[in-house]
Structure 1
Amino acid sequence: MTNNGLLNRRSFLYLGLGTAASVGALTMSKAIHPHQQIQAVTPLRRDFSVVGQTPLKQRAASKGLIYGADCGTLNLQSDPELAKVVARECAMLVAGFLKWNLIRPSADSFNFKRGDWFAKFARQQGMLLRGHTLVWHESLPSWFKETVNHQNAQQLLTQHIQKVLRHYAGQMHSWDVVNEAIDPKDGRSDGLRNTPWLKYLGKDYIEYAFRLAAEVDPKALLVYNDFGIEYDTPQHEAKRNAVLKLLERLKSRGVPIHALGIQSHLEANGNKFNPKKLQTFLSRVADMGLKIMITELDVIDKKLPLDTRARDRFVAATYEDYLGAVLQEPAVITVISWGISDRYTWLSEFFRRADGAAVRPLPLDANLKPKLAWNAIARAFDRAPRR
């Protein structure tokens, strides 16, 4: 997920700071899947207890699921404590440093140093590795705008996909081949976002990228990844429909796409979550023979009450309600947190709280201790049907 892009492209419904006194009267009944054994009570009264301290990766694995996280290479290199808890809790790591601007300093050169360190860490810990991302309209290097044009765009894209996938061939569980290519607000009948790739290569750039990726690394799971499809709003409904349209077109043309990635940057105490609508969408994706991955899971607490205990409960309830719904779909195979500790989260920069308090969006706090969010994820795994 990008920075200002998320701010501009999503509508957020939060509990205002001034309503903290009334939170006890709010219920989360609309966000609870009927198959979950959870009482329709306020997050302030919900029981988030878990049995034992079994790591999240083992709880997930017992149900045929993979749990992992995105953690920056520099953070893992400089913070042995973080590396230790990542190895304990996660079965998969996201190599999010493989964006164009981080590995391609010039049109003719690549730098895989950070990526190689990360891949080595994953191997040493017996963890799966996931690549993010091959084709995106953001995180492009400074030379891109002045260099790329109609004449050379396909050549540069081909070179990039071939070079990167060959370098990591056989090491990746999955790749986000194309990221965030849909935006209905751009007004196209097919829902595609107006990007440099669309401008220079036309709508078939998505198909081209998937076919090329499959040729270079046939063992990797190839994923289309996007955001803004989780909630019951007109904007998210339009996005879901456009995603389905894209997936249906790719499948009808025999394109080697294997999974849909749903980023899942969630709204704490969002009152527009409709489990049935989301599950219907997931079922339609699964009916195409596609797997589903939750790829960038976190919970934004920007406008929740300052009180840490209350805030942590609303964040935990958001996790439990969302995962309780999506994990009912057997095609969901992976849950990836976008960070694992509040010590390192992109939300600290792009979704700062007005009161200056530290954000608390992830399973572990800044001291790397489990929070109620960890409990909520653990409970969702424990209650999930076995794959």
Structure 2
Amino acid sequence: MGTSTSLHRRAFLLGAGAAATAGVVGLGTAETAHAAEVAGTRVPPLWRAAARKGLLLGSSAATWQLEDADYAALHARHAALLLTEDDMLWWRLRPTPDSGLDFTYADRIVEFAERNRQLVLGAHLVWDQGFGDGWGEDDLWNIPEDRARELLYGTMRAVMRRYRHRVPIWSVVNEAIVNGTDTGHGGLREDVPWFQTIGPDYVAHAFRVAHDTDSHACLMMNDFGYETVNQWGDEPADKQRNTLRVLDDLLGAGVPVHAFGIQGHLLADRFHERFHARQYLRFLSELADRGLRILITELDVLDDGLPTATGPRDRMVADVYRRYLDVTLECADVVAVVDFGLSDRYTWLDEDYPREDGTHRRPLPFDADLRPVRAYHAERRSLGSAPRRRPAWKSPRTCTHR
């Protein structure tokens, strides 16, 4: 749910997260000695409820999280798709402007997914965040156009070539669309280094480079702010209009955009009043009418405005999951639901948006002890009651059982 003016969800990863992974030699697999002790591995897997309806159920994950063997077991149990949370961001791949590409962490996260028969959604090839302390403002904003093109598109090509035929879905451009009533440049944000150095065609060219590098991959644009008014007061209808304008320009020019990712960071406070189901379904229909697959890519619930007590709070968070998914999954062109993590143990919201009462947030299907909470049951029920659709991708799990 980030913008250039907000404290972003991954800011803490650039410090504490880096220390957490230092010296790590490998990742665990689904079959760990701890798996039987994890309550979340004793309940029915979410991915299976989704698969019965032709949906993919996934979760984001990072190598530093998966060093936790219990969490690795939980993730392997419930997710059929892995969204790379930060291992393919530039602070991992290219820590400084002059460093070569380091695929150590990206290799690990892809290998974990392959061992556990999970598809991979690679994130993010183009973004204005995720650079880390090794990058200064002058390294991004004050460089010649030819250097910017070489830096951006050269990195894209190298990453996609390395994982060609191993990563079937890419988030090519993330968070490039304007929020609010400002229409930007045809709906695109101008406060992005690539816009300033390359120009507004940086988005279109990124998709063309991606398609030229791997013509079999599904190429996705990803953004947030479509469900309710956001924490900055922006209305979802404005973001929806800007998004359709951007997509119409791209698709009208023959740019190979195949899918649209809706992050799905939901605000619990008065969600039942602020979420306009008909308007939202109309937006999903507009995306589908443009021939796009739709993925919910970073689903969680910000529990501001909810009680401190965990019982009532969990019930209200679960109600948000139910209301949102029951509406969203009416659209048959929604082909995947990806939680932004599975457990409160690693939620970005505690770091970036701590609750005023000092209690830990509870935005996900499993709590910090990896026990299923009401959100798990709500998500599983919504997946199970969704209309059946044709699967968009063949999952390695559909021919095996876990």
| Paired residue secondary structure (2:57) | strand
Shift of 1:188: 2.3
Shift of 1:54: 2.5
| Paired residue secondary structure (1:321) | helix
Q: Report the equivalent of 1:170.
A: 165
Q: Report the equivalent of 1:39.
A: none
Letter in 1 for 2:85: G
5 Å matches for 1:163-202?
163-185=158-180, 187-194=183-190, 195-202=192-199
Cα distance in 1, alignment partners of residues 7 and 226 from structure 2: 15
Q: Report the equivalent of 2:209.
A: 212
Contact 1:262 1:296 in 2 (8 A): yes
Shift of 1:356: 1.0
Unaligned runs of 5+ in 2: 9-41, 390-402
Q: Report the equivalent of 1:57.
A: 47
User: Quick check: 283-292 or 156-165, which moved more?
Assistant: 156-165
Cα distance change of structure 1 residues 7 and 325 upon mapping to structure 2, 3 Å threshold: farther
Shift of 1:150: 2.8
| Paired residue secondary structure (2:367) | coil
Cα distance change of structure 1 residues 86 and 299 upon mapping to structure 2, 3 Å threshold: same
Shift of 1:254: 1.2
Cα distance in 2, alignment partners of residues 245 and 324 from structure 1: 27
Q: Report the equivalent of 1:80.
A: 69
Shift of 1:301: 0.8
Moved over 4 A (4+): 3-8, 184-187
Q: Report the equivalent of 2:84.
A: 95
Instruction: Please list the CA deviations of residues 218-242 of structure 1 after superposition, one character each: whole Å capped at 9, or x if unmatched.
Output: 2221000000111268622111001
Whether 1:378 aligns to 2:380 is yes
| Paired residue secondary structure (2:83) | strand
Cα distance in 1, alignment partners of residues 310 and 179 from structure 2: 37
Shift of 1:59: 0.3
Cα distance change of structure 1 residues 338 and 6 upon mapping to structure 2, 3 Å threshold: farther
Cα distance in 2, alignment partners of residues 317 and 235 from structure 1: 22
Cα distance in 2, alignment partners of residues 196 and 279 from structure 1: 33
| Paired residue secondary structure (2:345) | coil
User: Quick check: 247-256 or 52-61, which moved more?
Assistant: 52-61
Shift of 1:145: 2.8
Contact 2:125 2:156 in 1 (8 A): yes
Cα distance in 1, alignment partners of residues 52 and 138 from structure 2: 50
Shift of 1:144: 5.4
Cα distance change of structure 1 residues 347 and 230 upon mapping to structure 2, 3 Å threshold: same
Cα distance in 1, alignment partners of residues 290 and 266 from structure 2: 26
Q: Report the equivalent of 1:143.
A: 135
Contact 2:345 2:367 in 1 (8 A): yes
Letter in 2 for 1:130: L
5 Å matches for 1:318-337?
318-337=320-339
Q: Report the equivalent of 1:117.
A: 108
Q: How many residues align?
A: 343
Unaligned runs of 5+ in 1: 9-51
Contact 2:169 2:217 in 1 (8 A): yes
Instruction: Please list the CA deviations of residues 340-386 of structure 1 after superposition, one character each: whole Å capped at 9, or x if unmatched.
Output: 00111101111211111111100001111110000010011011000
Cα distance change of structure 1 residues 214 and 189 upon mapping to structure 2, 3 Å threshold: closer
Cα distance in 1, alignment partners of residues 388 and 162 from structure 2: 35
Q: Report the equivalent of 1:104.
A: 94
Cα distance in 2, alignment partners of residues 321 and 310 from structure 1: 17
Contact 2:303 2:361 in 1 (8 A): yes
Shift of 1:96: 2.0
Cα distance in 1, alignment partners of residues 103 and 239 from structure 2: 34
Alignment RMSD, CA only? 1.8
Whether 1:305 aligns to 2:285 is no
Whether 1:257 aligns to 2:247 is no
Shift of 1:337: 0.4
Cα distance change of structure 1 residues 302 and 236 upon mapping to structure 2, 3 Å threshold: same
Cα distance in 2, alignment partners of residues 350 and 53 from structure 1: 30
Letter in 2 for 1:145: E
Shift of 1:297: 0.3
TM superposition score normalised by structure 1: 0.85
Identity %: 40
Aligned pair partner of 1:295 in 294, 297, 321: 297
Cα distance in 2, alignment partners of residues 144 and 90 from structure 1: 37
| Paired residue secondary structure (2:298) | strand
| Paired residue secondary structure (2:381) | helix
TM superposition score normalised by structure 2: 0.82
Cα distance in 1, alignment partners of residues 179 and 385 from structure 2: 35
Q: Report the equivalent of 1:153.
A: 148
Letter in 2 for 1:362: L
| Paired residue secondary structure (2:354) | coil
Whether 1:238 aligns to 2:241 is no
Instruction: Please list the CA deviations of residues 244-284 of structure 1 after superposition, one character each: whole Å capped at 9, or x if unmatched.
Output: 01111111111111100000100114231001000000001
Shift of 1:137: 1.1
Shift of 1:189: 4.9
Contact 1:180 1:225 in 2 (8 A): yes
Cα distance in 1, alignment partners of residues 3 and 375 from structure 2: 23
Q: Report the equivalent of 1:350.
A: 352
Cα distance in 2, alignment partners of residues 4 and 354 from structure 1: 23
Instruction: Please list the CA deviations of residues 289-310 of structure 1 after superposition, one character each: whole Å capped at 9, or x if unmatched.
Output: 1000000000011331011110
| Paired residue secondary structure (1:133) | coil
Q: Report the equivalent of 2:400.
A: none
Letter in 2 for 1:99: L
